[in-house]
Chains A and B, each alone.
Chain A
Amino acid sequence: MASDRILRHKGIDRLFHWITAAAVLILLATGLLPVLGVDFDWLPIHWVAGIVLIVVILFHIGRSLFSQSVRSMLIGPRDLGALASDLGLGSSTVKEGKYLAAQRLMHHVIALFTLIAIGTGAVMLVKIDTPFWKRQPYWLQESTWGIVYSFHDLAALAFVTLIMLHIYFALRPEKIFYTRSMISGWMTRQDYLDHHDPALWPADEKKEQN
């Protein structure tokens, strides 16, 4: 008899998601609260959380390239029709593969700003003293540092918008089973059949699905 539960996210992927979420929230809080007038020693927390984020993102990139299906994350023009359905605004439900078009689009936008944030953040690490290295403030010209800071700030500001939207859609009643699957790992067979095309995401091979 078929199981009522479909494995959607392995434990390692759920762990990655929640470590990333915690790191991003810590980075936003430590980066933006001082801007809002909350004064505290934010820099040590910020750079440690930044290094954690860099490590888990490198892990995720490696795992995605070598042991997961990159194809399941591709997005193309034919996915545009599915977006309205994904957002609950279509006239009918479009059944998709493992990841909905809206989920893939959100992933790619978040990935873009994450790469900008950790790329510029990694460069900015040379400007601070840590137990592991001494600061090199003159490594770049002052005007070049300004460009690096601007891209870092842009990523931080974009994250304010993106995280708010991500949490909003994650808490929508019709999408809450995806959030539950990011906690428990599974979704019900009924939700799977209602929202996914078994030809595009075969549940019978769930143990091999990444």
Chain B
Amino acid sequence: MADVEKIYHNLKSRAIGLKSAAELLPNCAPERRGKVISLMRDAAKDIERLLTELEAGPRP
């Protein structure tokens, strides 16, 4: 898989993870809520990083 393809894949994967977690959040047990939000922040940071990489890199 080419580098740019990997970025797209990882971007898709993180975004889907974020969406699934957002759907889960309203019914999440209070003791897990904090952990899920923290992981969602990490995923959001990852998405930010991947987008920067995409901007910097060559177009597919």
Do A and B associate with each other? no
